[in-house]
Structure 1
Amino acid sequence: MKHKPHILPILILAQFACTSLWFAGNAIIDDIALKTGLGPEIIGYVLSSVQFGFITGTLVFAFLMIADRFSPSKIFFICALLAAACNLSLFTEVLSKWQLLFARFGTGFFLAGIYPIGMKIAADYYENGLGKALGFLVGALVLGTSFPYLLSGLELNSNSDTVLIITSAIAIIGGVLVVLFVPNGPFRKKSTNIKIKAGIALFKIPKFRQAAIGYFGHMWELYAFWAFTPLALHTYASVTNATFSIPLLTFAIIALGGLSCVLGGYVADKIGSHKIAYYALLVSGVFCIISPLLFKLPALLFLIGWSFWGMAATADSPQFSSLIANAAPPELKGTGLTLVNCFGFAISIISIQLLTLLAEQINPTLIFLFLSIGPLLGLIFMTKKTAY
Structure 2
Amino acid sequence: MRALNSPILVIVIAQLFGTSLWFSANSAAGSLMQTWGISEADIGLLTNAVQLGFIAGTLTFSLSGLADRFEASRIFTVSALLGALFNALFALSAEGLSSGLIWRFAVGFSLAGVYPLGMKMVVSWAPDRAGQTLAQLLAMLTLGTALPHGIRLAGADWSWQSSILVSSVLAVIAAGMIWSLGDGPHLKRQSGKSRIRLGHVLTAFTIPQFRASALAYFGHMWEVYALWTLVPALVVVSGLAQPNTPAQSGIAFLVVGIGALSCMLGGKLSQRFGSARVAAFALTGSVISCALFPLMPIDHPGWILALLLFWGATVVADSPQFSALSAKAAPPDIVGSALALQNAIGFTIGMVSIQLGTALVGTVDMYIAWLLLPGPVLALWALAPLWQQSFKPATPT
Alpha-carbon distance, 1:31 to partner: 2.2
Distance 1:297 1:311, change over 3 A: farther
Which string of whole-angstrom CA distances, capped at 9 and with x for unpartnered residues, describes residues 238-263 of structure 1? 7999x970111100111100100000
Taking the aligned partners of 1:301 and 1:238, their CA distance within structure 2 comes to 11
Deviation at 1:146, TM superposition (A): 0.4
2:233 maps to what in 1? 231
Deviations 1:12-39 (A, max 9, x none): 1100000000000000112222343222
Structure 2 residue matching 1:41: 3-state secondary structure: helix
Q: Which residue of 2 aligns with 1:188?
A: 187
1:35·1:93 contact (CA, 8 Å) conserved in 2?
A: no
What letter matches 1:179 in structure 2? W
Instruction: Identify the range of structure 1 (308-317 vs 283-292) with the bigger mean alpha-carbon deviation.
Output: 283-292
Q: Take 1:197 and 1:284, find their aligned partners in 2: how far apart are those partners?
A: 34
| 1:166, distance to aligned residue in structure 2 (A) | 1.0
Amino acid at match of 2:338: G
CA distance in 1, matches of 2:251, 2:373: 23
Q: 1:336 aligns with which of 315, 335, 338?
A: 338
Matches within 5 A, 1:158-177: 158-177=158-177
The aligned amino acid for 2:336 is G
State the AA in 2 paired with 1:186. P
SS of residue matched to 1:89: helix
After TM superposition, what 4+ stretches of structure 1 lie above 3 angstroms from structure 2? Answer: 238-241, 385-388
Aligned residue for 1:24, secondary structure, equals coil
Identify the match of residue 281 of structure 1 among 263, 280, 283.
283
Rounded to whole Å, the distance in 2 between the matches of 1:305 and 1:297 is 14
TM-score by length of 1: 0.94
| Residue type of the alignment partner of 2:369 | F
Q: In the aligned structure 1, how far is the partner of 2:279 from the partner of 2:61?
A: 26
Distance across 2 between alignment mates of 1:199 and 1:297? 52
Preserved contact between residue 223 and residue 352 of structure 1 (Cα < 8 Å): yes
CA–CA separation in structure 1 for the residues paired with 2:93 and 2:131: 44
Note the alpha carbon deviations across 1:52-91, whole angstroms, 9 max, x for none: 1101110111111122110000000000000011100122
Say if 2:293 and 2:307, in contact at 8 Å, map to a contact too: no
The answer to whether the aligner puts 1:128 opposite 2:128 as a matched pair is yes
Cα deviations by residue, 1:68-118 (Å, 9 ceiling, x for unpaired): 110000000000000011100122376122210011000000000000000
- Letter of the 1:289 counterpart: A
Question: Which amino acid is the alignment partner of residue 190 of structure 1?
Answer: R
Rounded Cα–Cα distance in structure 2 between residues aligned with 1:94 and 1:371: 32
Partner amino acid, structure 2, of 1:316: D
Q: Could you tell me whether the CA contact under 8 Å between 1:35 and 1:94 is conserved in 2?
A: no
Amino acid at match of 1:364: D
Please give the secondary structure, in 1, of the residue aligned with 2:128: coil
Give the corresponding residue for 1:256: 258
State the percentage of identical aligned residues. Answer: 34
| 1:95 aligned partner | 95
Aligned position for 2:395: none
Q: Quick check: 1:232–1:365 contact (8 Å CA) kept in 2?
A: yes
Q: 1:195 to 1:94 in 2, by over 3 A?
A: closer
State which drifts further: 136-145 or 84-93.
84-93
SS of residue paired to 2:198: coil
Q: Residues of 1 paired with 2:130 and 2:272: CA distance?
A: 12
Q: Which residue of 1 aligns with 2:381?
A: 380
Matched with 1:366 is 367
Residue 55 of structure 1 is matched in structure 2 by 55
Q: How far apart are the structure 1 equivalents of 2:233 and 2:351?
A: 17
Q: Which residue of 1 aligns with 2:212?
A: 210
Give 1:294 shift: 2.6
The count of aligned residue pairs is 383
Rounded to whole Å, the distance in 2 between the matches of 1:238 and 1:20 is: 25
In the alignment, what sits opposite 2:11?
Answer: 11
Cα displacement (A) at 1:40: 2.5
Secondary structure, aligned partner of 2:373: helix
* Cα gap change, 1:92 to 1:186, in 2 (>3 Å): closer
1:289-308 paired onto structure 2 within 5 Å: 289-296=291-298, 298-308=300-310
Task: Provide the C-alpha distance between the structure 2 equivalents of 1:115 and 1:154, rounded to a whole number of angstroms.
Answer: 26
Question: Which segments of 5 or more consecutive residues in structure 1 lack a partner in the other structure?
Answer: none
Offset at 1:297? 5.7
Distance 1:144 1:337 in 2: 20
Distance 1:95 1:348 in 2: 27
Shift of 1:164: 1.7
- Taking the aligned partners of 1:130 and 1:303, their CA distance within structure 2 comes to 33
Query: What one-letter code is carried by the residue in structure 2 that aligns with 1:185?
Result: G
Which of these residues, 318, 321, 339, is aligned with residue 320 of structure 2? 318
Amino acid at match of 1:134: L
Contact 2:41 2:355 in 1 (8 A): no
User: Which residue of structure 2 aligns with residue 76 of structure 1?
Assistant: 76
- Superposed CA RMSD in Å reads 2.0
Which TM-score applies when normalising by structure 2? 0.92
Cα offset, 1:295, TM superposition:
4.7
Q: Which moved more, 1:232-241 or 1:114-123?
A: 232-241
Deviates more, 1:9-18 or 1:197-206: 197-206
- SS of the residue aligned with 1:219? helix
Distance 1:340 1:94, change over 3 A: closer
